[in-house]
Structure 1
Amino acid sequence: MDFFEAQDNAIRKTKRLVFFYAVAVVCIVVCVYLAVTVGEFTYHQLSRPEGATYSPMDRMDVVDTGRIVWTAIGVVLLVGMGSLYKTLSLRGGGASVATSLGGERVDRSTNDHKRKQLLNVVEEMAIASGVPVPEVYILNREASINAFAAGWGRDDAVIAVSAGALATLSRDELQGVVAHEYSHVLHGDCRLNIRLMGVLFGIVMLTIFGRLLGSIFRGGIYASGGRRRSSGGGKGNGGALIIAVIVVVILVTIIGYIGSFFARLIQAAISRQREYLADAAAVQFTRNPDGIAGALKKIGSHSTHAVLEHPSASEAAHMFFADGLARGFSSALATHPPLDERIRLIDPQWDGKYDRHRPVKRKPEKAPSEEAAKAARPSGRQMIEGMAILGAIGTMSTGNLATAQQITGAIPESLDSRMRESEGARKVILALVMADNTLDDDAQWKVVEAAFSPDEITSIREAYDQVLALPRETRLAALELSTTTLTQSPLPGREDFLTLLNSLIQVDEHLSLYEFCVRRILRERLARGSGSASSDSSVQYMQLKPEVAKAVGNLLSIVAREAAGAGQPAALVSEAVTPLYLLNGKVSYHEAGEGDMGQLDHSLDILRSSAFAIRAQCLRAVVHCIKADGKLLPEEAESLRMLSLSLDCPAPPLGGALSN
């Protein structure tokens, strides 16, 4: 399944979830209506005068329009408000989910060996898959082995692992678990998972409401000193009303438990099949089946398995790497396939024994020589000419992981340490921006010297020299890692810092496409750190509406002018969109004008909210424009990657051929 197919599949699952939700609400309305009807029948039965010969049913209709309407309104409000409350409480994305489950964020400057190892694994996979580096959380109070990924999208996702997993798993096993979670991030499962949390909470609100009503009426009865009888015969209207309400509360509570049961069924139905796909993707990504299989085997032998102790664990059970709940009689409610099934699919030779002490044995693979690896890696031009970048979007491959490890390995330890601290990361970002505009070094340094003290200037020059020595593609990774650090800590004068960066970029009074992409990526990442909500891609333009066609035309026009040089950009745009059925005849070239780059920001925002099919064809046209002049500059290749990121289509590194 490719990236765009996976996104369409996630959208279909979301629609299925909405359908299940609607069916559940209708069933709850019907059940509550029957409970209210029974309660009213009970009231009439108990309150009739002694000796009356008429039936209580003579005074009420089983099917009453008013009762149906008010019951439906009450249930819809209760369930809807519950879902809305839970969804709003998770507005902060993956960080909100992690903290709600007792997670503690791992500081990037940590010196703890195991935590640093986890950070390295997460960073390598982020670079390899082209997604923003997620924040990492530890569930410190969980001794079991488990993990999850959560977030509204790829730009606010987090990876969380339990303390038991961090302490028990080897690096290979940890890598397998993290790769499994990255599959969920790439395939759009995280957004569905958070929506599912809101839906489930709304459905179980009836149980909470029933318990609350029960407590209120018990308290009311105790406060009044027991039952009250009227002097008129029968049980009295007051006593009849109390008994009738108690009957309704009991029935509503029972219905609430039934709703909870079906909520768990929905949770299991949505998540089970995805676990097989994520396991397969993890094996494909790491090319090490022993890693994820070893983690699953250790879960089977662990004293607490994968069970989490946090009281809110049931709400997020569908997110976990393994089933985090203690199951009773029914495996139908399990959110994950059985461990032995998952292990046998990965390791068909497994003997069925969960041996916690036996080390995993596998034949070491012979590492290819540096010359062989370089020869096997396609050149940047070959990759672009073969349209491989489109096929690589959203993929997880061993080659990408190896490239990511080379990229991170090329960063000196002193520079890496600098990037993991807030002040150091800020100076590295300044150095990275200046390093890509060497024609105006003096003017840029004057801007920097006016903003910092002499001691800080010395530190920035040290970072600048280290950045200049980095391979070209490593700089983009360094930019991503540095901005990730800044998102974790308050950055005083955030807007002033962005203004300074903009001044450095535009010191030559020209904003190139590459510089625009750098500025946009920085702004988006730092906005995430300020607590701003990520851009909402829930509004899907499924057809090429005029505003979407205009946005595509603006993007292609700018790319064509940059790539074609003195050629014919209008003809290039027409040639790029002709074979694309969604764009052909609807997208036209835009003449150059003032504010083109400012309009491009707005255009990318619109395109980010378009259907993935539109984004795929738009990127295909961009690739056609870039390769039309027969040249592939490193800046163009990186601009393409950053444009893909801006469109929420993560592109992995293009390979070491783009270095220096």
Structure 2
Amino acid sequence: MNFFEYQDRARRNSTLLIALFFAAVVGLVAITTLFVAMLTGYSDLRNPATDTSLMSMLGNLGWDTIAGIAITITAIIGLASLFRLRQLSAGGQAIAESLGGRKINISPQNPAEQRALNVVEEMALASGTPVPDVYILEDDAINAFAAGYAQGDAVVGLTRGCIEQLSRDELQGVVAHEFSHIFNGDMRMNLRIVGLLHGILIIGLLGSWLLRGSYWSSGRDNRGRAALFGIGAGLVVIGYTGTFFGNLIKSAVSRQREYLADASAVQFTRNSRGIAGALKKIGQHSGGSRLQAANASEFSHMYFASGLKSSLLGLFATHPPLDARISRLDPQWSGSGDGSPTPTPAAATLRGDAAAQVSQMHGGTGSGSGESYQARLEKVLEVVDNNIAQPTHQQHVLGQAILADIPAPLKAAAHDPFSARALVYGLLMDHASNSGSSEEQCAHREAQRTLLTQIAHPAVLREFHKLAPVLASTSQHYRLPLIDLCIPALKSLAPQQFQIFKRNVIKLLRADGKVEIWEWALYRVLMHGLETNPDQHRKLGNRKGSSQAIADAQQFLLATMAHADCDNYLHAKRAFEAGCSALKLSPAPLPARADISLQRLDKAVAIARDTSPLHKPGLLKALATTLAHDGVIGGNEVELLRALADCLDCPMPPIPECFTSARPQAGGVPTTETASAS
């Protein structure tokens, strides 16, 4: 099962979860109705003529009373669920902070935290995603979690025991496991489960309050106290009955997903002993994986290993038994040993592999340099089919190589909010200088520098001047990785600071009166990582999921790709037709370059994101076919494709074989005098 199938399954699971929730609500309404009928019948027991049969008591209630009960229970559950989901609207950050987590992306405090941050950043760069926020929980247990609604607001939480007790290979296995949850749509489902179960639990909490009220209430009316106690006890039973079945559903779903995440982690790291060793250490650690946070039970289904004591013979266990997980990863395991994994050949040769990848990135002779165009296209299509959000070990090695080879000043700047802004400004300016004639480059660069002195914060401007010489000598292949590294630091900006930063970026892009598609791609990747849903307003007036609107948006993206690096209309037309044919779209006239405004491109991306998961591979392969129609697939082309894939919520890992054929960018890319870029 690949990423797109996982996403499609996640959609179906969301529908199933809502159906099960409504079924639970109906069940609770029925139980509450029976409870009220029994209370009513109990109050009439003194009348000998009263029929005490259940059907008679239900009949005495009347439909108005039953409807009132249904509306009341549904309203209580619905409002409580919405309230909890609203509390969790910040995504993973809300959960990490509620568990006492501390963010370390900007300032890791010791080598263990720095190593953990490096591992997470390597995984992100290898998979083509923004670096998530990393939180440390001051807990000696060995555990971890991933939380958030989408990749843009995802966080990875690691306990103190996890980063200090595990080796680097074991930590990589744990982090790769959590990245699998990020990619496969598990996080959104987990958050919805938290919100919906809270709504069901609130009935039990109301009953507990009533019980306490009956205990502390004063007065001579013992009958009133007894009634209050009875109502409270009944609500407790009703509430926890719903929670019982809700936890059963949560546990069953979570157990199966843990096996899938373990398998994905092994595919990513090519080291089953790493994650198996982490599980073994959990079993031997005095604290195990049990978290001490007061509300740890609410998020029990999100953890790497069970964060609670097992109960009811494992009926509510949110994770498979450790022995079962270890046996799948290490069939030779006998249930004994120190839990330390034996170094694998992949781990032992990692440094040499990374060096070879770095050599390729700088244009050295590698396996990809002598390949034909068709072979390169097949590799790109293979990545779309099998590696979107499922990077291979080779891409994992490349991620490590990229992080290791980024100049230290740029890496340090990416982790500081002031310097990260300066770094983004420099990346956009450096990128813009690669197109057009030498005179145009100089004029554009000078116009941007002059503008930057007028709009940037003085401290940011000083950082920019420090970074400019390093950026000038840094390969353009690091543009997207550096932007991904900057995301956590830029997320820490205050809302007003962020809005100023965003306006400054747009002004820099418009400094020469036009915004080229290569600049637009970098901007879109940046905003996609920083804003939860930057495109919602662009879809106004378009019926969500409209097949015709989606098809038109897809054709517009293909037209943009056809014009991206081609000055000749006939050549662009052939590329466009090749893309439409690959996507099985009806032939359509190719829009002129002048019609490819970035406002329309932004809107096309927003609408194309509604393409069903199972149809997104076809769109990405059609874009690749269009872009490669001129017979060249170099680093620039692949980076543009990766940027568009990111905007479509399809994280595309870097392709090592395509780094060696980068060529200088040609002029003649789509521009607009009034591009919104917002």
Same fold (TM over 0.5): yes
- Contact residue 204 and residue 259 of structure 1 kept, 8 A: yes
- Contact residue 4 and residue 616 of structure 1 kept, 8 A: yes
Equivalent in the alignment of 1:510: 514
- 1:264 counterpart = 2:247: yes
Q: What secondary structure is seen at the aligned counterpart in 1 of 2:102?
A: strand
Q: Decide which moves more: 372-381 or 491-500.
A: 372-381
- 1:437 counterpart = 2:432: yes
1:302 to 275, 281, 285: 285
Q: What secondary structure is seen at the aligned counterpart in 1 of 2:304?
A: coil
- The letter of the residue matching 1:383 is R
Q: What secondary structure is seen at the aligned counterpart in 2 of 1:136?
A: strand
Superposed CA offset, 1:454-481 (max 9, x none)? 8865642331221222233222211221
Equivalent in the alignment of 1:560: 562
- 1:214 counterpart = 2:217: no
- Contact residue 123 and residue 396 of structure 2 kept, 8 A: yes
CA, structure 1 residues 185+456, in 2 after alignment: closer, same or farther (shift >3 Å)?
A: closer
- The letter of the residue matching 1:388 is E
- 1:550 counterpart = 2:565: no
Equivalent in the alignment of 1:362: 343
Equivalent in the alignment of 2:94: 96
- Contact residue 376 and residue 657 of structure 2 kept, 8 A: no
Matched pairs, number = 634
CA, structure 1 residues 380+151, in 2 after alignment: closer, same or farther (shift >3 Å)?
A: farther
Q: Decide which moves more: 202-211 or 570-579.
A: 570-579
- 1:165 counterpart = 2:162: yes
- Contact residue 432 and residue 467 of structure 1 kept, 8 A: yes
In structure 1, distance between residues paired with 2:543 and 2:258: 30
Quote the offset at 1:389 in angstroms: 3.7
CA, structure 1 residues 572+63, in 2 after alignment: closer, same or farther (shift >3 Å)?
A: farther
Quote the offset at 1:501 in angstroms: 2.3
In structure 1, distance between residues paired with 2:523 and 2:544: 29
In structure 1, distance between residues paired with 2:100 and 2:63: 47
Equivalent in the alignment of 2:117: 119
- The letter of the residue matching 1:606 is I
Q: What secondary structure is seen at the aligned counterpart in 1 of 2:59?
A: coil
Equivalent in the alignment of 1:640: 641
Equivalent in the alignment of 2:398: 403
Q: What secondary structure is seen at the aligned counterpart in 1 of 2:502?
A: helix
Quote the offset at 1:320 in angstroms: 0.5
Superposed CA offset, 1:76-120 (max 9, x none)? 111111211111110001101111222121142334111111111
Quote the offset at 1:538 in angstroms: 13
In structure 2, distance between residues paired with 1:615 and 1:423: 37
User: Structure 2 matches for 1:385-464, cutoff 5 A?
Assistant: 385-386=378-379, 387-391=381-385, 392-438=387-433, 439=441, 440-451=444-455, 459-464=463-468
Equivalent in the alignment of 2:11: 11
In structure 2, distance between residues paired with 1:534 and 1:567: 30
Equivalent in the alignment of 2:578: 575
Query: Identity of counterpart residues, as a percentage?
Result: 32
Q: What secondary structure is seen at the aligned counterpart in 2 of 1:145?
A: coil
Q: Unpaired runs of 5+ in structure 2?
A: 361-365, 434-440, 663-678
Quote the offset at 1:644 in angstroms: 0.6
CA, structure 1 residues 407+139, in 2 after alignment: closer, same or farther (shift >3 Å)?
A: same
Superposed CA offset, 1:346-385 (max 9, x none)? 0111120263xx6433354563576699534576954335
Equivalent in the alignment of 1:338: 321
Q: What secondary structure is seen at the aligned counterpart in 2 of 1:45?
A: coil
Equivalent in the alignment of 1:626: 627
In structure 1, distance between residues paired with 2:505 and 2:460: 16
Q: Unpaired runs of 5+ in structure 1?
A: 228-238
User: Structure 2 matches for 1:490-501, cutoff 5 A?
Assistant: 490=494, 493-501=497-505
- The letter of the residue matching 2:506 is N
Equivalent in the alignment of 1:383: 376
Quote the offset at 1:202 in angstroms: 1.3
In structure 1, distance between residues paired with 2:458 and 2:61: 83
CA, structure 1 residues 280+363, in 2 after alignment: closer, same or farther (shift >3 Å)?
A: closer
Equivalent in the alignment of 1:475: 479
In structure 1, distance between residues paired with 2:243 and 2:494: 41
CA, structure 1 residues 586+215, in 2 after alignment: closer, same or farther (shift >3 Å)?
A: farther
In structure 1, distance between residues paired with 2:535 and 2:596: 25
Q: Decide which moves more: 490-499 or 277-286.
A: 490-499
TM superposition score normalised by structure 2: 0.87
Quote the offset at 1:31 in angstroms: 1.0
Q: What secondary structure is seen at the aligned counterpart in 2 of 1:224?
A: coil
- The letter of the residue matching 2:622 is A
Equivalent in the alignment of 2:675: none
Quote the offset at 1:577 in angstroms: 2.1
User: Structure 2 matches for 1:319-330, cutoff 5 A?
Assistant: 319-330=302-313
TM superposition score normalised by structure 1: 0.89
CA, structure 1 residues 353+69, in 2 after alignment: closer, same or farther (shift >3 Å)?
A: same
Structural RMSD (CA): 2.9
- Contact residue 127 and residue 133 of structure 1 kept, 8 A: yes
CA, structure 1 residues 297+436, in 2 after alignment: closer, same or farther (shift >3 Å)?
A: same
- The letter of the residue matching 2:192 is R
- The letter of the residue matching 1:474 is Y
Superposed CA offset, 1:283-312 (max 9, x none)? 111111121111101110111211112232
Q: What secondary structure is seen at the aligned counterpart in 1 of 2:157?
A: strand
In structure 2, distance between residues paired with 1:223 and 1:274: 52
